[in-house]
Structure 1
Amino acid sequence: MPFAFVGGALDRAEHLRNDAAAIAALWPRARVLLLDDDGCALADAQRQPYPPPAAALATVDPATAVFLGLHGGQGWFALPAGELAAAAPERIDLRTAAAAWPVMEATAFAQARAVLHWRARQRHCGACGGALRFARAGWLGHCAPCGLEHYPRTDPAVIVAVSDGERLLLGRQAGWPPRRWSVLAGFVEPGETLEQTVAREVFEESRVRVRASRYLASQPWPFPGSLMLGFEADAEPDEPVVNDELEDARWFTREQVGAALRGETRDDGLLLSPRISISRWLVERWWERR
């Protein structure tokens, strides 16, 4: 895919998660990603994934790691860096790794970051407050006092290229870099279809009325745990009006979008989202189809 965290996905081998013997057998040859408390991965001097020393891994119980999956028979795991963090020369954040690491490693990093973020913040049961015990190779939090099971959380969100037939609707948030614009996005609410979410979010953020929408593709976005569901939408040529969610929203012509895609931006030019995001792909697809 033309955006990050999709290509090169591991075989998640879900059937092995309850097989402690199989997980332990994979551990001696395991590929292990180590993440610090900020969600950055440990890296070597070349800013590639840091290989933890075999002697250090030999002291780790594989049941405490998150089993990410298999590739070529080798098990891939994720662990909080802990004391091993001091040995690694570099740290690398996920956005940087998406551009600098091989596709498989970057996609595994995204998976690891999302699950470890959930585990770090889901230590107790939300119903009774009991401490959770993680099982199923890190993918299940079990509460012994009340018996509830807790699974990693993924928040679905739509992200949509809205067009009136000639122009593309883009918005910007106040905290973004100057001149940065992106397609609109928002989270799915309970009891709502994705198409309903598209129409509601676009209207809430811009007062532009959507006539129809079509699903195109999806992207995991572990910042910290979203799934971006990409759409294109046909809309009325309403004048955008923003609320407190966006600083501004505007229609952009094909010429303006094309100049931005070619990097022909001046001091007042349009800057788009980086290539790792489905946002950029939606803009590129709209421009190419026009």
Structure 2
Amino acid sequence: MPLEHLALGRAATDRAALLRSDPGLIDRLLADPATRVLRVGHGRTPVRERDGGLALDLVGPGEVPDDALRVFLGRDADGTGYLAVRAEPGPDWVGLRRLGAVLDDAQVGLLTEAVALLGWHETHTHCPRCGAPTEPVEGGWSRRCPDDGTDHYPRTDPAVIMAVVDADDRILLGRSPAWPEHRYSTLAGFVEPGESLEAAVRREVAEEVGVVVGDVEYLGSQPWPFPASLMIGFRAVATDPTVRVDGVEIADARWFDRAGLRDAVQAGQVVLPSGISIARRLVEHWYGSELDDGPQGW
């Protein structure tokens, strides 16, 4: 059964892409007092309390500085338009990794979209062909070079992430050398040019841990704008479960049965990925239910 309701994959706002070509779109939204504005700085945003939880602290267009970068996020069913603006974060602003699990569908969708799009603008300010500074156009969904007239669009980097299982239905988890000693997760890696997703799954598993994979089954995807990935989740069946870690991408990899993983987590010997991540959902999809984080958390 495929994964559903992944934390950062939820959305309830129409992106209204056909409106982006209107050169007066942003000015018209700024002139409309009903427009709601999401302020984002370095992936963080202000929040307020609502119904015992947290909600985005959306403001009106009158609070948008004249020189702020503005991007169009879409509109909701009653026609209310949404903008995101780049701002300097305050000390109490909160990041998407924390908010992804507590916001409703509409708000988490807006924040995920805004973090991804504004992050792209921050790192793509110049034309890759001639080096000239570029200007945002199309409601902030592209940048145009005034010197050579080329348009440049946001990039998303596809990455495969897989729950590798063997003939005994054990799951393979690995630890990066950069992580703390007990932190383990599913294997993952970027798709290379000219490569299918299934081929990327088999290649990444073989490169990182030496395990040979046969059948590959798609389970779901999740935007991961840290900074610009799309995580594409699979179940991959090992035909040769022999583990030979590469020592570069993976420092250690271990097979777990369900009881063994549960006991290791409870004992603090294994720390699983964050609850908002598709990695955690892949593990729990295999396990058959949610797993208690035990004495530690990612």
TM-score in terms of structure 1 length: 0.88
Measured at CA, do residues 54 and 118 of structure 1 come closer, stay the same or move farther in structure 2, by a change above 3 Å? closer
2: CA distance, partners of 1:147 / 1:215: 40
Paired letter, 1:133: E
Partner of 1:49: 56
Residues 166 and 239 of structure 2 are in contact (CA less than 8 Å); yes or no, is this contact kept in structure 1?
yes
- Relative to structure 1, is the Cα distance of residues 8 and 45 closer, same or farther in structure 2, using a 3 angstrom cutoff? closer
In structure 1, distance between residues paired with 2:101 and 2:112: 13
Match of 1:124 in 2: 126
8 Å Cα contact 1:170-1:251 kept in structure 2? yes
1:228 to 218, 228, 231: 231
Matches within 5 A, 1:169-208: 169-208=172-211
Matched residues in 2 for 1:45 and 1:81: separation?
A: 21
Contact 1:3-1:275 at 8 Å conserved across structures:
no
| Number of aligned residues | 278
Q: Secondary structure at the match of 1:76?
A: strand
- Aligned with 1:32 (options 15, 34, 37): 37
Q: 1-side partners of 2:186 and 2:206: how far apart?
A: 13
The answer to whether structure 1 residue 71 and structure 2 residue 76 are counterparts is: yes
User: In the alignment, is the contact (CA less than 8 A) between 1:181 and 1:271 conserved in 2?
Assistant: yes
Question: What do the CA deviations read for 1:88-145 (whole angstroms, capped 9, x no partner)?
Answer: 6721011111123323212211111111111011110111101101100001111121
The one-letter code sitting in structure 2 at the alignment partner of 1:74 is T
- In 2, Cα distance between equivalents of 1:182 and 1:288: 17
Matches within 5 A, 1:1-290: 1-27=4-30, 28=32, 29-36=34-41, 38-44=42-48, 48-52=55-59, 55-57=62-64, 60=66, 64-72=69-77, 73-82=79-88, 85=89, 90-166=92-168, 167-243=170-246, 244-259=248-263, 265-268=266-269, 270-288=270-288
- Alignment deviations for residues 160-191 of structure 1 (CA, whole Å, 9 cap, x no partner): 11111221111111232442211100000001
Does the 8 Å CA contact 2:174/2:254 hold for their aligned counterparts?
Answer: yes
Cα separation, 2, equivalents of 1:89 and 1:246: 35
Whether the aligned pair in 2 keeps the contact of 1:68 and 1:108 (CA below 8 Å) is yes
Q: Percent identity?
A: 41
Q: Which amino acid aligns with 2:40?
A: L
1:217 is paired with a residue of what secondary structure? strand
Return the structure number with greater helix share. Answer: 1
Deviations 1:29-68 (A, max 9, x none): 12211111x22112347753223365423x6489x41101
2:46·2:57 contact (CA, 8 Å) conserved in 1?
A: yes
Residue aligned with 2:172, SS: strand
Q: CA deviation at 1:24?
A: 3.4
Measured in 1, the distance between the counterparts of 2:190 and 2:162 equals 12
Equivalent in the alignment of 2:295: none
8 Å Cα contact 1:258-1:287 kept in structure 2? no
5+ long unaligned stretches in structure 2: 290-298
CA distance, structure 2, for counterparts of residue 239 and residue 192 of structure 1? 25
Amino acid at match of 1:49: L
* 1:219–1:186 distance in 2 versus 1, CA, 3 Å: same
Q: Distance in 1 between matches of 2:60 and 2:227?
A: 28
* Separation in structure 2 between the aligned mates of residue 170 and residue 267 of structure 1, nearest angstrom: 15
The structural deviation recorded for 1:152 is 0.5
Distance in 1 (CA, whole Å) between partners of 2:281 and 2:255 is 18
C-alpha contact 2:26 2:70 (8 A) present in aligned 1? no
Distance in 1 of aligned mates of 2:194 and 2:157: 14
Residues 89 and 176 (structure 1), Cα distance of their counterparts in 2 relative to 1, 3 Å cut = closer
Secondary structure of 2:93 counterpart: strand
